[in-house]
Amino acid sequence: MTGHRVRPRGRPGAPGPRAWLRTRLREQATWREAGYTLLSILALWWVDLGAIAVSGVLPGVLLSAPLQPDTPLSLSLTLALAGAVIMPTAAYPITAWAGARATTARALLGSPDPELAEVVRSRARLVDAFEVERRRIERDLHDGAHQRLVALALKLGMARLDLEPGSPAAERVAEAHEEAMRALAELRELIRGVHPRILTDLGLPEAVLDVAGRSPVPVEVDIVLARRLPTATEVTAYFVVTEALANVAKHSRAARCLIRGRLTREALVISPTHWTGWPPAAPSSTPRWSGSC
């Protein structure tokens, strides 16, 4: 949702083609559509043709090289191999150009809609309010239940020192101490899931290093940011990385993983990559996440 929509056309004030034409010529939408049509006829269709040629025609021509009778065998096999290599990425130019086409059409044909713009702003306010609530819950858990469990575990540990080793009371206190330590570990994981304190204090790179250190798969972190990002962007990126590492540990059977992050043109791009062997010959998976800052 972008805050733009195509508004319905007005109705002519009188019957007949002359009234219809007069009404249409007075509308800004008519001139925007005429401009977009003229732009498509003069320029955009060349780019459409180029994207189709790169994505569809070029791989097909390369793959059909062995069928050409006058082409040497070594050259035809090389061309066919090149076509097979570029085939998986052939759809990307069309996808990228389709997005650019949609943006152009939206800018020329759409008109700002105050109601949609207010919905966008309302959603942003809801996201901010939700994040404020997450921080409050994290702070209450950390300063309340967490501190009480730490004190309880400390007192049980000191009580074990005062009891005779091997006695029934010492064994029960030891069990209680272990239960308190497990509850403390679970509460810490819960706090990290709500909102990690290290993310607020030190930022995204250090928070990702922290979650990578707890991953069962060895993880290398390569996140370089010139500045702190907005809170919503950092929180979203952190949980994206957390989920990606959980999926790597559960489903990939990977031997190693790399989390790479860069800030490019006011957009944060996170690329988790994992390998099934080491040293890697080629990445077995390269999912990407990008978000505007």
pLDDT tens column, 204-248 = 999 899 888 888 888 899 998 888 888 888 888 888 898 888 888
C-alpha span between 56 and 48 (Å, rounded): 12
How would DSSP label each residue in 196-223? -HHHHHH-HHHHHHHHHHT-SS-EEEEE
Hey, which of 17-31, 108-122, 138-152, 274-288 has the most confident mean pLDDT?
138-152
Q: What are residue 183's phi and psi, to 5 degrees? A: -65, -35
How would DSSP label each residue in 145-178? IHHHHHHHHHHHHHHHHHSPTTSHHHHHHHHHHH
Instruction: Provide the β-strand partners of residue 264.
Output: 267
- What is the mean predicted confidence (pLDDT) over 44-62? 76
Give counts: helices (H), strands (E), the chain.
12, 6
Q: Two tokens at 8? A: 């319905």
Predicted local distance difference test score (pLDDT) of residue 274: 66
C-alpha span between 112 and 130 (Å, rounded): 28
pTM value is 0.47
Compute CA distances 242 → 122, 192, 219, 223, 251, whole Å. Answer: 28, 10, 12, 14, 14
Contact, 284 vs 252, CB < 8 A?
Answer: yes
Q: Helix, strand, coil shares of the chain as percentages rounded to 5?
A: 70, 10, 20
Predicted local distance difference test score (pLDDT) of residue 280: 47
Predicted local distance difference test score (pLDDT) of residue 293: 61
Predicted local distance difference test score (pLDDT) of residue 13: 67
pLDDT digits (tens, 9 = 90+) for 137-178: 777 777 777 788 888 888 888 888 888 887 888 888 888 888
Q: Is the pLDDT of residue 75 over 50?
A: yes
C-alpha span between 42 and 148 (Å, rounded): 72
Summary mean pLDDT of the chain: 77
Q: Is the pLDDT of residue 22 over 80?
A: no
- Tokens 């569809």 — which residue? 56
Helix axes 114-140, 168-194, angle to 10 degrees: 160
Q: Two tokens at 91? A: 């759809």
